[in-house]
Structure 1
């Protein structure tokens, strides 16, 4: 029996007014900006969602996507999930060499240390943190370490929870690490072992929503890498305020290598470590 592939959605050409409506909706839902230079990208994804929901009128679709399940599906369609294990390894080195030794100066053995990866995409970053600490921080078993991975993309959260990864995601991991923390390859993917998979908790979170961030509790370290570049000034300021509120006093914030808090907020102090430049809550 021959199985026919699904036909691609018909091309969609949004008017300037419709483009503005889409951009405003996405901004309200995510804090991310999508301008006219992203027209083709936007039209393809809106066309795909309209085909999925069997809708032909743009305005009617946008009304439906303003909330509920379709708002979630629309967010998932527009998020970017580019990641892999041991990405920006220098920050992981800073975590084990400097940040955690500084954090535990105010804690006792057995105390809780909370680390937050936001956005966590499909899980490579928070699992990398867990693996790195097991491999590189001798005191990892002396403290109660909780790693939370969060993302606005619920499909990415589901993939992270499943813990299945392809060769591209795993390419930077040493062979001995692959052998220790992943099951044998099946159908070109490897599953992270259950003990490690269960050591990371995943949640859906919107970084520009104060209530959504507050629900995650307080953290000693936040890794928020390569997200602020998608925000405008107002969304960056909101995200910075929410992360500041989510950090314990003296907590650390790690941004992507091309990101800076300098023009966003004066609530953080720049910390130049041997391995990385990070920010700290006073």
Structure 2
């Protein structure tokens, strides 16, 4: 079955409008054309037009499309210096200014298959002091329902945990065949939901957060959608809350929502 360039671009525009992800022409032709054709075959479509028509009206098929085009490349302790900044500088400060009965809420958006959320939980548990003093709420969200399912299961390959020190592997994982599952205590400490970050109403309903990690997502968005997402994050953060971005990402200098500060080895963005 052939899918024309015009048809691919039509689907690309739909994807960008609904979930913000932009796919350039080269990737569209070399990577995503194959993925989309596989999706058509899997769902027994003989032509693109009937597939596209059903995408518009069928939530389940639409979700399959989103799962097919999202990128889930991550591992435990990725950009570890940011977790060090979190427990050394940010949590102590939040502990001083937040009421002791109020949990510190941390959001990972997108969380992919969960490694980032579990890494944050491990760092907080290993620091040890503040987990005894107060509650934490850790939530991971992602548009990819397959990724969220895997995150909830908490089962990972050797490659995913390869950056972890041996004592962390032994303490927080149990081996199942040639894979590793996070221990029950860790899985119960976090939660995951399928959420589209472009859906402002659903994002708002998640509540207010002290810290948001959004690493290596904005690079896939255009300038307009980046600004929309950053505004959403700003509104979701409590006063004096913090936003972490990926090392290659920056907030546009003329977007005066956050103050950039350096804590340890990390550049972070503070809501004032």
**What is the TM-score of this pair, normalised by structure 1?**
0.92
1:138 to 129, 137, 144: 129
Whole-angstrom CA distance in 2 between matches of 1:89 and 1:264: 29
- Pair 1:111 & 2:102 matched: yes
- Pair 1:16 & 2:5 matched: yes
1:33 to 17, 22, 27: 22
Deviation at 1:205, TM superposition (A): 1.3
Whole-angstrom CA distance in 2 between matches of 1:108 and 1:28: 40
The 5 Å alignment of 1:85-100 reads 85-100=76-91
Q: Deviations over 1:164-218 (max 9, x none)?
A: 01100101111111111111x2221011111110110101111122112112111
The 5 Å alignment of 1:28-67 reads 28-38=17-27, 39-66=29-56, 67=58
2:213 is matched with 223
Q: Deviations over 1:120-146 (max 9, x none)?
A: 111100000000111125222211100
Deviation at 1:40, TM superposition (A): 2.2
- Pair 1:243 & 2:236 matched: no
Deviation at 1:99, TM superposition (A): 0.9
- Pair 1:194 & 2:184 matched: yes
**What is the TM-score of this pair, normalised by structure 2?**
0.96
Over the aligned positions, Cα root-mean-square deviation in angstroms equals: 1.3
Q: Deviations over 1:208-236 (max 9, x none)?
A: 22112112111000000000000001110
In the alignment, structure 1 segments of 5+ residues that lack a partner are: 1-9
Q: Say which SS state the counterpart of residue 219 (structure 2) adopts.
A: helix
In the alignment, structure 2 segments of 5+ residues that lack a partner are: none
Q: Say which SS state the counterpart of residue 65 (structure 1) adopts.
A: helix
Q: Say which SS state the counterpart of residue 249 (structure 1) adopts.
A: strand
Q: Say which SS state the counterpart of residue 135 (structure 1) adopts.
A: helix
Q: Which runs of 4+ in 1 moved over 6 A?
A: none
2:141 is matched with 150
